[in-house]
Amino acid sequence: MKITLSFAIATVCATVATMAPAEVIHATWGGGGAVTLNDYVMKPFSEKTGIETRVAEVPNTAGAVRSPTATQYNVVTTTYFEGVSLAQADLLEGFSDEELPNVADLPQNIVLRNAAGQIVGVPSYFTYYGITFNNEQASAEDFTSWNSLKDPKWKGKLAMTRPVYSSAYDLTIYAHANGGDAANVYAGKELLEGLIGNSLTTYTSLAHMNTLLGTGEVTAVPFYASRVWDLRRKGQTNIEMAIPKEGALLLAYTNVMPKGAADREETRQYLNFLASAESQVNISVQTGNIPTNKNAVLPQAYIDTIGMTQEELMSKMYTPDWNAVVENHEERLNMVEQMMSNAGN
């Protein structure tokens, strides 16, 4: 009788667990971006489908996917180069093209796929990396080239990002500006050394950098266009961005599902929504990002805030071979850390 009762209780518990409503939990960086994602993407998706959604703020999104507890999240937003690394490590759930039909409208060269050809990363927006400056202390004419960053007149007036990103972003675009590419970044080493020598600090968060720029403690920094757009929208008009003549670094962000996470069907629907023109327009006009969906039509009022059409903007972008960046990242990270260490001696 005890065995029968125990079995019955276990069966009831399993049934209740199975009947629990699905919930898509989307992990991303904390702050205003998480709030915007929740309000302008997740809520509309839930209203359309009846599928519950929840945003989770994490400090390191790629680290969340590599964590033993990664399956607590259904979707995680990562930088593109980190997404490539996660795909190579086979940590991501794969989907067929038929399961994610909206992905057909995205640039196929940035759709992440695994070794079997399945889709493992859905890029939902672009931003770009240019030179941001305080216009009370400098002008766009001061930064017509990336090489301007090594000018001795900026000694102690610049800032730079952490090595994990400067080794992937700065070194890559500096190499491009000096005749190299993602496979040959040594062409950019001298420029990066110049930036390191001119930098007052290495910023540890976007909020930290916002403050340094706004107060004028730092004159300029290689930074993200979407952050500048958001700051200007909030009234901080002394901050601007220059796109050097060699181009800005185009950065896609991708959305992945950790392998083994629950509620695959609901997550599939959500990823397909992230790839849609509707979702991407919703988020772009709130964040200053650029849609990846070719059918996305941005409002004229938003285009006016950028100052040029999307086609004109994209013509100024440089897209590297991210596979080459990932394959050499460990070596380049060590090199940049050594360069920064030597500068401090």
For the stretch 106-122, pLDDT in tens is 999 999 999 999 999 99
What pLDDT score does 331 carry? 95
Backbone angles phi, psi at 292, to 5 degrees: -95, -20
Q: Checking DSSP bridges between strand 199-202 and strand 158-160, what pairing results, if any?
A: parallel
What pLDDT score does 343 carry? 80
Tokens 């302008």 belong to residue: 40
For the stretch 315-334, pLDDT in tens is 999 999 998 999 999 999 99
| Consecutive H or E run containing 341 | helix 329-343
What pLDDT score does 63 carry? 96
Weakest-pLDDT range from 34-38, 162-166, 204-208: 204-208
Whether pLDDT at 273 is above 90? yes
Three-class SS of 41-102: HHHHHHHHHCCEEEEEECCCHHHHHHCCCHHHCCEEEEEHHHHHHHHHCCCECCECCCCCHH
What pLDDT score does 324 carry? 93
Q: Please give the single-letter amino acid code of residue 81.
A: F
Average pLDDT, the chain: 92
Q: What CA–CA distance (Å, rounded) separates 71 from 58?
A: 14
Whether pLDDT at 164 is above 80? yes
| Fold exhibited by the domain 2-125+251-307 | D-Maltodextrin-Binding Protein; domain 2 (3.40.190)
Whether pLDDT at 263 is above 90? yes
Q: What CA–CA distance (Å, rounded) separates 302 from 324?
A: 34
Distance of CA 4 to the CA centre of its chain: 53
Domain spans of the chain? 2-125+251-307, 127-250+319-343
For the stretch 29-56, pLDDT in tens is 988 889 999 999 999 999 999 999 999 9
Cβ contacts of 335-342, under 8 Å, gap ≥ 24 = 335/167, 335/189, 336/163, 336/166, 336/167, 336/171, 336/192, 337/163, 339/189, 339/192, 339/193, 339/196, 340/163, 340/196, 340/202
What pLDDT score does 16 carry? 43
2-125+251-307 shares its CATH topology with 127-250+319-343: yes
What pLDDT score does 7 carry? 52
Domain 127-250+319-343 has CATH 3.40.50.300: no
Decide if 282 contacts 118 (C-beta within 8 A): no
Beta bridge partners of 121: 112
Weakest-pLDDT range from 19-23, 42-46, 117-121, 245-249: 19-23
94-117 burial: b if 16+ Cβ within 10 Å, else e: bbeeebbebbebbeeebbbbbeee
What pLDDT score does 310 carry? 85
Question: What is the pTM assigned to this prediction?
Answer: 0.86
Whether pLDDT at 1 is above 70? no
Would you place residue 17 in the very low, low, confident or very high pLDDT band (cuts 50, 70, 90)? very low
CA dihedral 116→182→79→286, nearest 10 degrees, is -120
What pLDDT score does 15 carry? 45
State mean pLDDT over 266-288. Answer: 96
Whether pLDDT at 4 is above 80? no
